[in-house]
């Protein structure tokens, strides 16, 4: 199994541009989430999904959209990039019926907005 994969690994955008960060998992996990990590800080939840067609907002959802059309994929869309969105983005997945909530993380996407 590849686990959780993310593309691209690095991206540079200009203010106002849009883009989609891709996330895929092959573990048949129902739950998936997106976090951002800023220097010296832990991870902050952007959006999460508990299954195909079901998404909800996390702590810092503004400026981001998500959709979950399949169990495997959970893309994150930046509608109009801003310098404040410069960050490292992590996607994670985990099993719905696990009593442990252990999350599996992708390697991250480092995004710079100029």
Partner 1 sequence: SQQGEEDPQALSIQEGENATMNCSYKTSINNLQWYRQNSGRGLVHLILIRSNEREKHSGRLRVTLDTSKKSSSLLITASRAADTASYFCATVPFQGAQKLVFGQGTRLTINP
Residues engaged in binding partner 1 (CB under 8 A): 4, 31, 33, 35, 40-45, 48, 50, 56, 58-59, 90, 92, 99-108
Which of 87, 39, 31, 41 shows the shortest CA–CA distance to 63? Answer: 87
42 vs 36: CA distance, rounded Å = 8
Smaller CB distance to partner 1: residue 19 or 60?
60
Smaller CB distance to partner 1: residue 80 or 98?
98
* Minimum gap (Å) between residue 57 Cβ and partner 1: 11
53 vs 69: CA distance, rounded Å = 6
Smaller CB distance to partner 1: residue 17 or 88?
88
Phi-psi region of 96 (alpha: psi -120 to 50; beta: other; left: phi over 0): alpha
* Minimum gap (Å) between residue 21 Cβ and partner 1: 14
Segment (H or E) for 23: strand 19-25
* Minimum gap (Å) between residue 104 Cβ and partner 1: 7
Smaller CB distance to partner 1: residue 77 or 110?
110
Q: What is the DSSP letter of 114?
A: -
* Minimum gap (Å) between residue 91 Cβ and partner 1: 9
């Amino acid at each position: 199994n590849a686990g959780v994969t993310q593309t691209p690994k690095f991206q540079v955008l200009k203010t106002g541009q849009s883009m989609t960060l891709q996330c895929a998992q092959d573990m048949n996990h129902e739950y998936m989430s997106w976090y951002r990590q800023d220097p010296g800080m832990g991870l902050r939840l952007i959006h999460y999904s508990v299954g195909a067609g079901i998404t909800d907002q996390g702590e810092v959802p503004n400026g981001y959209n998500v959709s979950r059309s399949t169990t495997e994929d959970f893309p994150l869309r930046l509608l109009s990039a801003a310098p404040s969105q410069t960050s490292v983005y992590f996607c994670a997945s985990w099993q719905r019926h696990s009593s442990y909530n252990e999350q599996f993380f992708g390697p991250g996407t480092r995004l710079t907005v100029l």
